[in-house]
C-alpha cells in the first residue's frame, strides 16, 4: 500500500502541454495528508483557449503577473523530495511536467508516477465512468471544486489512499 506520495494536478491554459497555468500538490505521509501547495503560473505559451478557461475558470488576467514555472517549482520541489507522484490520468500530468521542464530547459529528474485512473479502471469496473469526480465519490470523497488544481490533487490523494 502506498503511504507516502505527492498527488499532483495541473491545469493548462491551452492545448500545449507546457501551458501549465496552475498546479496543486498534496503531500501524503504515513497515509495522512500532511501538506498542500497551490500556485497560479504564468503559462508558456501565454494565451488561453476558451475551452480551457471554461473548464477551470483561469484567465490571462489571473496569471499575467504570476511567476513562471521554474520559480514556482523551486517552491514546490522541497515538499516533494523523493516522493513518487500520483495523478488521476498520469499520462496528462506527467506529460505536462515533462513538457514544461523541456520548455524551460530544466533537467528532468526521474520522477516516478502512479495513476489512480488506471487503478480505478482495474478495481472499480462497475463505475459508469472513471472520471475524477466519479471515482472520488465512489471512494467517499465529495469533490466540490472540480478543475481547481488543488481540489483535484486532494481528490486524487484520497483515491490513492484507498486504491494504491
DSSP codes of every residue in 37-57: EEEE---SS----HHHHHHH-
Mean pLDDT for the chain overall: 97
List the beta bridge partners of residue 37.
Answer: 25
Is the whole-model pTM more than 0.85?
yes
The percentage of residues in the chain with a pLDDT greater than 70, rounded to a whole number, is 100
All cell numbers assigned to 152: 483535484
Model confidence at 1, pLDDT cuts 50, 70, 90, reads: confident
DSSP 31: T
Instruction: Report the CATH superfamily, name and number, of domain 5-163.
Output: Ribonuclease H-like superfamily/Ribonuclease H (3.30.420.10)
Nearest CA to 9 out of 93, 69, 112 is that of 93
Amino acid at each position: 500500500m502506498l503511504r507516502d506520495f505527492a498527488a499532483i494536478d495541473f491545469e493548462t491554459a491551452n492545448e500545449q502541454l507546457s501551458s501549465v497555468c496552475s498546479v496543486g500538490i498534496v503531500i501524503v505521509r504515513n497515509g495522512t495528508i500532511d501538506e498542500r501547495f497551490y500556485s497560479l503560473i504564468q503559462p508558456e505559451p501565454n494565451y488561453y483557449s476558451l475551452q480551457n478557461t471554461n473548464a477551470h475558470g483561469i484567465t490571462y488576467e489571473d496569471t499575467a503577473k504570476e511567476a513562471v514555472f521554474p520559480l514556482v517549482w523551486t517552491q514546490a520541489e522541497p515538499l516533494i523530495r523523493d516522493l513518487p507522484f500520483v495523478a488521476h490520468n498520469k499520462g496528462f500530468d506527467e506529460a505536462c511536467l515533462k513538457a514544461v521542464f523541456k520548455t524551460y530547459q530544466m533537467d528532468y529528474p526521474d520522477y516516478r508516477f502512479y495513476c489512480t485512473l488506471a487503478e480505478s479502471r482495474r478495481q472499480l469496473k462497475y463505475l459508469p465512468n472513471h472520471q475524477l469526480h466519479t471515482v472520488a465519490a465512489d471512494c467517499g470523497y465529495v469533490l466540490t471544486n472540480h478543475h481547481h488544481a488543488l481540489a483535484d490533487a486532494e481528490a486524487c490523494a484520497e483515491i490513492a489512499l484507498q486504491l494504491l
